[in-house]
Amino acid sequence: MHELSIAMGIVDAALEEAERRGVQVNAVHLRLGALSGVVKDALLFSYEMACQDTPLQGSRLIVEDVPVVVFCPQCQERRTLASVQSFSCPECGSPTRDILQGKELEVFALEIEEQEVGG
Amino acid sequence: MTEPRLVEVRRNVLKQNDVIARALREQFRAAGVFVVSLVSSPGSGKTAFLEKMLTDLQPRYRVAALVGDLATENDALRLARSRAPVKQITTGTLCHLEAAMVQTALQDWNLHQLDFLFIENVGNLVCPSSYDLGENVRLVLMSVTEGEDKPLKYPTIFNSADITIVSKNDLADAVEFDWKTAHASIQSVRPGMKVFRLSAKTGDGMNEYLAFLSQQLAEHRAVAHTHT
């Protein structure tokens, strides 16, 4: 299981962004590709551990699943795959290895609590 | 008063690894060394295959290997029999190699003195798929004893690989290995994947594979040359 080290990477990235902006983070939004090699449940579990004793303790990890999108050479179209077990166009059945999306492992946004200055 | 707000940051979590991997790839290109990484589940014959490869390539090429292992140095000792330079990366509890570990392990090696460098990952078909090591090609091994549907069970790692080695082919008949089904599974998760079927024990199928590697090295150097 490598999800703990991935979770620690998420926490590091989020903390750095939060510190730079001087804000408190309530939730971290992550884009997780179906081909990222990361198991969502294990990651959610690891995130809590990775947050311990950091300013992110108590924050939530919100995961957006990103499906695999390929380019079909036959249809000349972008196609979303239903499963990572079959890399062929869902419309015409042509095999393709041209992956446009699905490897994401990206801290996309932070939900922050902002102190109103001078209010 | 406070109010929640969403700010976009867009940070690739594996950026640090990717940056090191890119630097490694450039270093390999400049040195003219062709780098092959190997991934598989434990017990698929990765070390036997590597030993055979090092031994067979050595009369013609300068070869070396880095081997990742959780705790023991058994693999490195075994591979030392090939008399090629071998270095162990003991990962402790970590289930995969990362680019930084490869970089550290290579610090005191002169890559210009090598033709091929092999990097054996920790036996695991899940975790290594996320980490680029700067390799030129990634091999995934599956042995005939593991079943024909291995690629469908671990599509991510097979999709991240360039070549599949079907190992322990000498046992194929004994386990009634269905080659057609296996081939279909591989092509389903990675259309067009190059596949070699071989036995490190009998040497059957090794020549075809080694000829392919030699050709890859020549192409790698031709490209590297035009870039410099």
CA distance A106 to chain B (A): 4
Mean pLDDT by 10 residues, chain B (228 residues): 82 94 97 96 91 95 90 76 86 86 95 96 88 96 96 96 97 96 97 97 97 96 76
Tell me the three-class secondary structure of chain B, residue by residue. Answer: CEEEEEEEEEEECCHHHHHHHHHHHHHHHHHCCEEEEEECCCCCCHHHHHHHHHHHHCCCCCEEEEEEECCCCHHHHHHHHHCCCEEEEECCCCCCCCHHHHHHHCCCCCHHHCCEEEEECCCCCCHHHHCCCCCCEEEEEEEHHHCCCHHHHCHHHHHHCCEEEEECHHHCCCCCCCHHHHHHHHHHHCCCCEEEECCCCCCCCHHHHHHHHHHHHHHHHHHHHHHC
Which residues of chain A have a CB within 8 Å of the CB of B8?
A: 108-109
- The pLDDT tens digits for B91-122 are 777 789 999 999 999 999 999 999 999 999 98
Using CB atoms, pick whichever of B7, B16, B157 lies closest to residue A110. B7
- Judged against a pLDDT cut of 90, whether residue A28 lies above it is answered with yes
Residue A70 has pLDDT above 90, yes or no: yes
The confidence score (pLDDT) of residue B79 equals: 81
| Confidence at residue B92, expressed as pLDDT on a 0 to 100 scale | 78
Q: What is the nearest CA distance from B159 to chain A, expressed in angstroms? A: 8
Q: Rounded to a whole number, what is the distance in Å from the CA of B85 to chain A's nearest CA?
A: 29
- d(CA B75, CA B192) in angstroms, rounded, equals 32
**Which amino acid is located at B86 in the chain?**
V
Mind telling me how many Å the CA of B160 is from chain A's nearest CA?
Answer: 9
pLDDT at A119 over 50: no
Q: What is the residue type of A45?
A: F
Q: Using a CB-CB distance cutoff of 8 angstroms, which residues of chain B are in contact with residue A111?
A: 4-6
Q: Does the ipTM surpass 0.85?
A: yes
Angle, in degrees to the nearest 10, between helices B206-227 and B46-57: 70
The residues of B whose Cβ lies within 8 A of any Cβ of A are: 1-14, 16, 94-96, 126-127, 129-130, 152, 155-157, 159-160, 187-192
Chain B contact set for A5 (CB, 8 A): 94
B6 and A114 within 8 Å at the Cβ level: the answer is: no
Q: Tell me the three state secondary structure of residue A42.
A: helix
The answer to which of A78-82, A84-88, B82-86 has the lowest mean pLDDT is B82-86
Q: Which residue from B minimizes the CA distance to A84?
A: B155
pLDDT of residue B76: 76
User: For the whole model, what pTM was predicted?
Assistant: 0.91
Q: What does the pLDDT read at residue B78?
A: 80
